Amino acid sequence: MNTMPLLIKNARIITATDDYAADVFCAGEQISRIEKSIDAKSCPPDTEVIDATGKYLFPGFIDPHVHIYLPFMGTYAKDTWETAGRAAIIGGTTTLVEMICPGKTDEPMTAFETWLGKAEGTAPCDFTFHMGVTRFDDLAERQLREIVKRGITSFKVFLAYKGALGVDDRELYRTLKLATELGVVVTAHCENETLIAERSAELIATGKTGPEFHEPSRPVQVEAEGVHHLMTFAELTGAEVYIVHTSCDEAVREATRAIERGVNAHIEVVLPHLVLDQSYTLGGGPALRAESGDPFEGAKYIMSPPLRDKSQLPRMWNHLRSRAISTVATDHAPFDFETQKCMGKDAFTKIPNGIPSVEDRINLLYTHGVCEGRIDLNTFVDAASTKAARIFGLKGKGTIAIGADADLVVFDPAFRGTISGKTHHMATDYSAFEGWPINGRPSVVTVRGRVMARDGKFVGGSGHGRLVPRG
Ligand code: URP
Ligand code: ZN
Ligand code: ZN
């Protein structure tokens, strides 16, 4: 499928810093002209003209934390690059950064090739990876150096998931030293794994096995301790670090305290921690609880770090508004309720962790953030696109400028709709946001100049996505 020239007229362009009216013309994969008014007659005859009157024009959104191919907790995440990529694009996200999560005995290079092979030729959106470091020895080090040379300039470490993906302190220290030497960013899941293991065992032993006990097994102190731990290691190694999915004020404050004393750290929040709270793990929130009365519905909302007390939500929004939090990702980790979440019927420790949300991030962030006055339009774009491009060196991404990739979202703020697992495009059999209203949605989405979605429908082809070059 060829890319046709595209003229977007009468747009209100929003970037991380600007808000202005202009027309945008893309001759191919990049933006070629941005002018107050571009006459269609000055463009090639086959140009498609999109009238964006009354709509916003945003840069394509970037989700810097997703899981698509994920062998985890005895099963595999549900999506493929085909399903997750389509869902992402329909929801306005044009670039995904996936976590490569090798098993402890896997070789990093083999894992890299496996994850890359699943995306290349299949992904409709652009993509790159954070290279998971789940072991650190001489072989792993040699291969990590090679992987960085191939353009994967960020690592991922887990301080949680004891015995599975987690690294010990020696491995953490060496990974951070290597990252400092190579100038790569280390993303980290910060929770104290020993505290989680001990507390989980205590709860299960006393018959507290339901999904509602997942949060008490890893309360805010467990996460704050994990962040503190990473900050100490980052300070002593000089590594640039990025804390994924901070869920609570206590964890954010540990990070900001370290940043104040010079630690080079960035903070991510994920959509579920901005709009959902711990009560959802008690039978799936008010609506589901009333409908089914089954307390195990709460399994749909199990992720780590867990959903927190609802008093945390305004505090997290405040950190986002003040831009102490840099990015809003999803941590999209899709597992079916009927066949996968149910593996934890007898013990919350066996419920595969994760909430599917790659399709809903932009619409819910706009609805609950911008429409509710919690964040302004520039912060919205910065947190959901620009900052991720800057931190992870995604060339051509994250803004609207001449020469930037023509990843564009024409967004209709007048649209009104409802989220449902019956109509969403992710592969899971449920939505964590069933019945939730949305104000606004993307009406046209382009990936490097090609129109890939229109009004909630995927109109692109497979395999258009490519590995994003990184600085
Ligand atoms: O619950 C989560 N977050 N699942 C995916 C794996 C991870 O920790 O990021
Ligand atoms: Zn994690
Ligand atoms: Zn994750």
Angle, nearest 10°, between helix axes 193-205 and 220-237? 160
Using CA atoms, how far apart are residues 467 and 208, in angstroms rounded to an integer?
A: 45
pLDDT at 310: 97
Render pLDDT for 429-441 as a digit per residue (tens, 0 to 9): 999 999 999 999 9
Buried b (16+ CB within 10 A) or exposed e, 116-133: bebbeebbbbbbbbbbbb
pLDDT at 1: 62
Using CA atoms, how far apart are residues 113 and 69, in angstroms rounded to an integer?
A: 12
Pocket of ligand 1 (CB under 6 A): 67, 189, 303-304, 331, 333, 353-354
Angle, nearest 10°, between helix axes 249-260 and 220-237? 20
Distance 113 CA to ligand 2 centre (A): 22
Q: Hey, which of 72, 271, 303 would you mutate to test ligand 1's pocket, going by the most ligand atoms within 8 Å of its Cβ?
A: 303
Ligand located closest to 188 CA: 2
Render pLDDT for 154-185 as a digit per residue (tens, 0 to 9): 999 999 988 889 999 999 999 999 999 999 99
Render pLDDT for 1-24 as a digit per residue (tens, 0 to 9): 668 999 999 999 999 999 999 999
Spatial contact of 27 and 5, defined as CB atoms under 8 Å apart: yes
pLDDT at 3: 85
Instruction: Report whether pLDDT(223) > 80.
Output: yes
Ligand located closest to 226 CA: 2
Instruction: Report whether pLDDT(45) > 70.
Output: yes
The number of the ligand 1 atom at minimal distance from the alpha carbon of 160 is 8
171: Cβ–Cβ under 8 A, 6 or more apart, which residues? 133, 135, 136, 157
Distance 329 CA to ligand 3 centre (A): 10
pLDDT at 162: 82
Ligand located closest to 355 CA: 1
Arithmetic mean of pLDDT, 355-361: 98
Phi/psi of residue 308, each to 5°?
-105, 175
Instruction: Report whether pLDDT(104) > 90.
Output: yes
Instruction: Report whether pLDDT(469) > 90.
Output: yes
Distance 73 CA to ligand 2 centre (A): 13
Instruction: Report whether pLDDT(224) > 90.
Output: yes
Distance 333 CA to ligand 3 centre (A): 7
Arithmetic mean of pLDDT, 436-462: 97
Render pLDDT for 376-393 as a digit per residue (tens, 0 to 9): 999 999 999 999 999 999
Instruction: Report whether pLDDT(369) > 80.
Output: yes
Using CA atoms, how far apart are residues 463 and 120, in angstroms rounded to an integer?
A: 7
pLDDT at 291: 76
pTM above 0.75, yes or no: yes
The number of the ligand 1 atom at minimal distance from the alpha carbon of 101 is 6
Distance 181 CA to ligand 2 centre (A): 25
Instruction: Report whether pLDDT(292) > 80.
Output: no
Render pLDDT for 241-287 as a digit per residue (tens, 0 to 9): 999 999 999 999 999 999 999 999 999 999 999 999 999 998 777 77
The number of the ligand 1 atom at minimal distance from the alpha carbon of 270 is 3
C-alpha atoms less than 13 angstroms from C-alpha of 465 in its C-beta half-sphere: 27
Q: Residue 414 has which token pair?
A: 């007048």
Percentage of the chain modeled with pLDDT above 70 = 99
Residue nearest to atom 4 of ligand 1 (CA): 354
Distance 405 CA to ligand 1 centre (A): 30
- What is the rounded average pLDDT for all residues in the chain? 97
